[in-house]
C-alpha cells in the first residue's frame, strides 16, 4: 500500500500529479522543485510577455473531468471570447499556480512543497530522496516529473569552442539579447517553436538587427486557422507503417485539408506509436518527424502574423541548410554553411548564435545530475529511440535489466519514447489523471473495476 509519494519536479506534470492525488483522495504527496516557483516549470516560468499558448483556451483545462475549467477561470477575469483565445503563457502560469495554491490551502498535511535540489533517489524497502544539502525525505514511491531537458549542442558546436558570449546553448538565457546592435546578425539554429519564441523575444527587447533561422529543411510551424466546418472523421486507426500512413494522410489532406487530416489522427496517435516497430519509429523520426511537428504543433494566429511581418520587412530570414564550420574571432563568429541542395558553401559574419533546436531527452547525453546518477546505476534507462526515459504503459520506469520499477514512475515529455504524443497539456493532463487514479486505487470505480 502506498501512503506517501515524492514528486520530483513542480512544473505542469508534477504539480498536476499532486493536485490529482488530492482530488482522488490518494496518498500524501511531497512536491519538490529546485528553481522556479512551484507550478510554473520552464514552459511558463521562463516565458516572455509576448509568448502565447499554441492552443486555444478551450482545450487547455488542467482538469480532464472539467474541460471548461480554464475558460471559466478566464471569464471570471474578464477575458472576452475566452474559449477561442490564445492567451499569454504567463497567464496560464498564473492559472496553474492558483490551482496548486488552492490545493495546498485545502490539503492540510496531505501536501507539502519543498524547494530544494534533488541529488539522488534510492530504494531499500522505502524510497529515500536526498537533497544536495544532505537532508532527506522518505516515501513509498517517487515520480519523476522533470519536464524537458535543455537542447543538446548541435553537431560541431562543442568542438568549435565558442565562448558563452557568442554562443547561447540555452535559448532561455536571459542575456541572449544583451549587447546587440542594429547592425548585428543573430543566427538561430532550428526553425521550430523554440526559434519563434526566441525571435519574438529578441524583437520585444528592441533588437533591430538581422535574424537568420537555419535548419536542415527550413520548415516553419504552420498557423492555427479558424475552426473548420464539421467533417466526417476517420473511425478506425490507420495503418501503422510509415509509408502507407503518409500516403493515407496526404490523400485525406487533399480531401479535407492538411490541418483536418492531422487533427483527426489525434485520437489514434499514441496507439499508432505503441504498435509501431522500432524500425518504423526510426523511419518516422528520420524522415517524417519535422513535417509532423510543423503541422501538429502550430502557431497562434497573432504570433504567426508577427513572424510574417518580421519576414516581410527583412528582419527574419528562414533558410534550409547545415553548418559546415565555425570559428570565433574578436567577439564574432565566422559561420560557414551549405544551403540545402547546393554544393557551394556560404559564409556569415555573426555576432551571436542561439541553440533553438528544441528540447531533447537523450539520457546518455544529459548533463542533469539526478538523471545521470539513476542511469549510471541502472535504475532507469533510455528508451530505444533515445527520446527520454523508458517506461511501460503504466508509467513505471524500466531499469537497465528490463524490469519495471514498481516504486518509480515518470510523467510528461520525458516519456515520449513510449507515448510520443505526450508533450502538450491535453495529453499530459490525461496521463497524470490516470496515474493518480491508479495510485489512489480510484481506478476500481467508475466502471473500470466494478
Q: How far apart are CA 23 and CA 15, in angstroms?
A: 12
CATH homologous superfamily, domain 157-221+299-355: FAD/NAD(P)-binding domain (3.50.50.60)
User: Sign of the C-alpha dihedral, residues 2, 4, 8, 12?
Assistant: positive
Q: What pLDDT is recorded for position 36?
A: 65
Count of all residues that appear for the chain in the document = 450
Residue with cell 489512489: 440
Contacts of 267 (CB under 8 A, 6+ apart): none
Say what the pLDDT of residue 116 is: 92
Specify the fold of 4-51+88-150+360-444.
Answer: FAD/NAD(P)-binding domain (3.50.50)
Q: Please tell me the pTM assigned to this model.
A: 0.90
Query: Which pLDDT score is estimated for 304?
Result: 95
Quick one: pLDDT at residue 414?
A: 95
Cell of 79: 477575458
Number of neighbours of residue 176 by Cβ within 10 angstroms: 19
Q: What is the pLDDT of residue 87?
A: 93
Give 8's contacts (C-beta < 8 A, 6+ positions apart).
14, 32, 118, 121, 129, 142, 143, 144, 145, 146, 370
Residue 84's CB: how many other CB atoms inside 10 A?
12
Instruction: Produce one character per residue of 235-274: b if its CB has 16 or more CB atoms within 10 Å, e if not.
Output: eeeeebbbeebbeebeebeeebeebbbbbbbeebbbebbe
* pLDDT of 433: 95
pLDDT number for residue 39: 62
CA distance 244 to 386: 25
Which three cell numbers, joined as nine digits, stand for 365? 547525453
Query: Residue 29 belongs to what H/E stretch?
Result: strand 28-32
Shared fold status for 4-51+88-150+360-444 and 157-221+299-355: yes
> Do 415 and 441 touch, CB atoms closer than 8 A?
no
Residue partners of 78: CB distance under 8 A and separation at least 6: none
282 three-state secondary structure: helix
DSSP-derived pairing of the beta strands 118-124 and 126-131: antiparallel
Domain ranges within the chain, ordered by starting residue: 4-51+88-150+360-444, 157-221+299-355, 242-296
- Could you give the CA distance from residue 126 to residue 136 in angstroms, rounded to a whole number? 12
Pairing mode, strands 316-329 and 332-339: antiparallel
Strands 28-32 and 346-350, bridge-based pairing: unpaired
Q: Which residues of the chain have pLDDT under 50?
A: 444-445, 447-450
Phi/psi for 57 (5° steps) reads -60, -30
CA angle (389, 390, 395) in 5-degree steps: 95
User: What pLDDT shows up at residue 448?
Assistant: 43
Task: Write down the pLDDT at residue 43.
Answer: 65
Amino acid at each position: 500500500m502506498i501512503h506517501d509519494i515524492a514528486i520530483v519536479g513542480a512544473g505542469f506534470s508534477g504539480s498536476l500529479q499532486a493536485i490529482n492525488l488530492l482530488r482522488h483522495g490518494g496518498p500524501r504527496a511531497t512536491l519538490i522543485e529546485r528553481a522556479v516557483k512551484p507550478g510554473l516549470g520552464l514552459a511558463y516560468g521562463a516565458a516572455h510577455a509576448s509568448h502565447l499558448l499554441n492552443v486555444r483556451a478551450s482545450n487547455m483545462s488542467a482538469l480532464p473531468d472539467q474541460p471548461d475549467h480554464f475558460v471559466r477561470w478566464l471569464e471570471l477575469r474578464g477575458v472576452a471570447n475566452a474559449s477561442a483565445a490564445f492567451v499569454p503563457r504567463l497567464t496560464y502560469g498564473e492559472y496553474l499556480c492558483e490551482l496548486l495554491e488552492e490545493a495546498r490551502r485545502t490539503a492540510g498535511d496531505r501536501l507539502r512543497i519543498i524547494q530544494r535540489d534533488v541529488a539522488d533517489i534510492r530504494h531499500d524497502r522505502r524510497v529515500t530522496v536526498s537533497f544536495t544539502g544532505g537532508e532527506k525525505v522518505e516515501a513509498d514511491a517517487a515520480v519523476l516529473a522533470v519536464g524537458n531537458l535543455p537542447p543538446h549542442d548541435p553537431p560541431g558546436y562543442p568542438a568549435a569552442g565558442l565562448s558563452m558570449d557568442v554562443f547561447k546553448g540555452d535559448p532561455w538565457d536571459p542575456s541572449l539579447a544583451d549587447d546587440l546592435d542594429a547592425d548585428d546578425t543573430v543566427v538561430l539554429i532550428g526553425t521550430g517553436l523554440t526559434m519563434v519564441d526566441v525571435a519574438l523575444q529578441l524583437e520585444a527587447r528592441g533588437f533591430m538587427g538581422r535574424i537568420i533561422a537555419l535548419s536542415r529543411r527550413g520548415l516553419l510551424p504552420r498557423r492555427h486557422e479558424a475552426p473548420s466546418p464539421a467533417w466526417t472523421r476517420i473511425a478506425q486507426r490507420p495503418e501503422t507503417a510509415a509509408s502507407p500512413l503518409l500516403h493515407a494522410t496526404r490523400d485525406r489532406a487533399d480531401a479535407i485539408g492538411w490541418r483536418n487530416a492531422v487533427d483527426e489522427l489525434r485520437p489514434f496517435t499514441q496507439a499508432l506509436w505503441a504498435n509501431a516497430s522500432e524500425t518504423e519509429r526510426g523511419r518516422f523520426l528520420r524522415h517524417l518527424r519535422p513535417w509532423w511537428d510543423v503541422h501538429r504543433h502550430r502557431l497562434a494566429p497573432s504570433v504567426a502574423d508577427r513572424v510574417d511581418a518580421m519576414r516581410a520587412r527583412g528582419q527574419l530570414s528562414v533558410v534550409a541548410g547545415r553548418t559546415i564550420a565555425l570559428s570565433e574571432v574578436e567577439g564574432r563568429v565566422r559561420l560557414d554553411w551549405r544551403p540545402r541542395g547546393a554544393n557551394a558553401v556560404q559564409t556569415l559574419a555573426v555576432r551571436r548564435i542561439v541553440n533553438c533546436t528544441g528540447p531533447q531527452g537523450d539520457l546518455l547525453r544529459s548533463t542533469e545530475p539526478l538523471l545521470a546518477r539513476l542511469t549510471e546505476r541502472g535504475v532507469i534507462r533510455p528508451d530505444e529511440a533515445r527520446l527520454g526515459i523508458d517506461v511501460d504503459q503504466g508509467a513505471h520506469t524500466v531499469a537497465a535489466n528490463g524490469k519495471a520499477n514498481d516504486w518509480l514512475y515518470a510523467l510528461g515529455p520525458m516519456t515520449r519514447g513510449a507515448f510520443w504524443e505526450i508533450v502538450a497539456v491535453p495529453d499530459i493532463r490525461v496521463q497524470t489523471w490516470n496515474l493518480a487514479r491508479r495510485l489512489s486505487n480510484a481506478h476500481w470505480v467508475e466502471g473500470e473495476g466494478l
